[in-house]
């Protein structure tokens, strides 16, 4: 019988992506549940850590305790070299606390308007954190994908900064089909690097 694992985010795009990623990268048997499935649709965690790992770990522990279930959280961002690594930790709220994906992309393109194409190098970074309820131990996995910030938007798939993130072959992240994105995205790589921890957690629950 599969064990339930709470995906600790209110972002519907991330929840869909994690469901597909588990099919691609995780061998152990988990039933993924969203916060709304366990009465936590309005639950929030302040993300004021100084690193992706701090934020992801805090979310995983907080959601795990609130739901009394093992939880998986991630924190991710886009890091632009010409902007000294910004927006980084603040990627989700780059254009303001109430900003949406389109506003964040527009602000980033405006910030780079005078930056030549050769100097628009960037990367997506993701850290995945896993936690049991009422424990301080958090297991982590990190993933990075390198690319550049394109001059304009292209592609209808994905979410967030995907339409302006160009891979080395020139395609935008938002142009990849689901199966390909789930092999090479920063979130895919982070989850693949945390698969050992998911297997260990499943064995603990089976014991």
Which pLDDT tens digit goes with each residue over 16-60?
889 889 888 887 789 999 999 999 999 999 888 999 999 999 999
Topology classification of domain 3-206: Maf protein (3.90.950)
- Radius of gyration, CA atoms only, the chain: 17
Question: 105-154, pLDDT tens digit by residue?
Answer: 999 999 999 999 999 999 999 999 999 999 888 999 999 999 999 999 99
Query: What is the spatial distance between Cα 177 and Cα 98, in angstroms, rounded to a whole number?
Result: 29
Question: 62-96, pLDDT tens digit by residue?
Answer: 999 999 999 999 999 999 999 999 999 999 899 99
Q: Does position 13 have pLDDT exceeding 80, yes or no?
A: no
Burial 10-19 (b: 16+ CB within 10 A, else e): eeeebbebbe
Number of alpha carbons in the 13 Å side-chain half-sphere of residue 71? 27
**Helices 186-206 and 12-25, axial angle in degrees (round to 10):** 70
Region 93-101: mean pLDDT is 88
The closest alpha carbon to 12, from 192, 160, 168, belongs to 160
Predicted local confidence at residue 158, as pLDDT: 80
Q: Check: CB of residue 43 under 8 Å from CB of residue 35.
A: yes
**Cα angle vertex 116, ends 76, 160, to 5°?**
25
Predicted local confidence at residue 85, as pLDDT: 97
Q: Give the confidence band of 194 by pLDDT, cuts at 50, 70, 90.
A: very high
Q: Give the confidence band of 167 by pLDDT, cuts at 50, 70, 90.
A: very high
Region 154-170: mean pLDDT is 93
Predicted local confidence at residue 26, as pLDDT: 83
Indicate the pTM of the whole model: 0.91
Q: Does position 1 have pLDDT exceeding 80, yes or no?
A: no
**Cα angle vertex 45, ends 19, 87, to 5°?**
80
Q: Check: CB of residue 8 under 8 Å from CB of residue 59.
A: yes
Q: Give the confidence band of 11 by pLDDT, cuts at 50, 70, 90.
A: confident
Options 23, 74, 75, 162, the catalytic residue: 75
Our answer to whether residue 75 is catalytic in this structure is: yes
Top-confidence residue, 5 or 135: 5
Predicted local confidence at residue 97, as pLDDT: 83
- Domain map (residue ranges) of the chain: 3-206
């Amino acid at each position: 019988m599969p064990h339930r694992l709470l995906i600790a985010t209110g972002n519907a795009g991330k929840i869909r992506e994690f469901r597909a990623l588990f099919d691609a990268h995780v061998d152990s048997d988990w039933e993924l549940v969203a916060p709304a499935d366990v009465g936590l649709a309005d639950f929030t965690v302040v993300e004021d850590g100084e690193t992706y790992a701090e934020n992801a770990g805090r979310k995983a522990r907080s959601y795990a305790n609130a739901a009394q279930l093992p939880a998986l959280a991630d924190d991710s961002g886009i890091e632009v070299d010409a902007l000294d690594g910004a927006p980084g930790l603040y990627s989700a709220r780059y254009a303001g606390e109430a900003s949406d994906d389109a506003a964040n992309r527009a602000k980033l393109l405006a910030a780079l308007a005078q930056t030549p194409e050769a100097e628009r190098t960037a990367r997506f970074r993701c850290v995945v954190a896993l936690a049991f309820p009422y424990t301080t131990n958090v297991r982590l996995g990190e993933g990075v994908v390198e690319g550049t910030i394109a001059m304009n938007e292209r592609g209808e798939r994905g979410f967030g900064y995907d339409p302006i993130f160009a891979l080395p072959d020139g395609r935008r992240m938002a142009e990849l089909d689901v199966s390909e994105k789930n092999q090479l995205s920063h979130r895919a790589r982070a989850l693949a690097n945390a698969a050992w921890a998911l297997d260990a957690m499943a064995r603990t629950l089976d014991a």
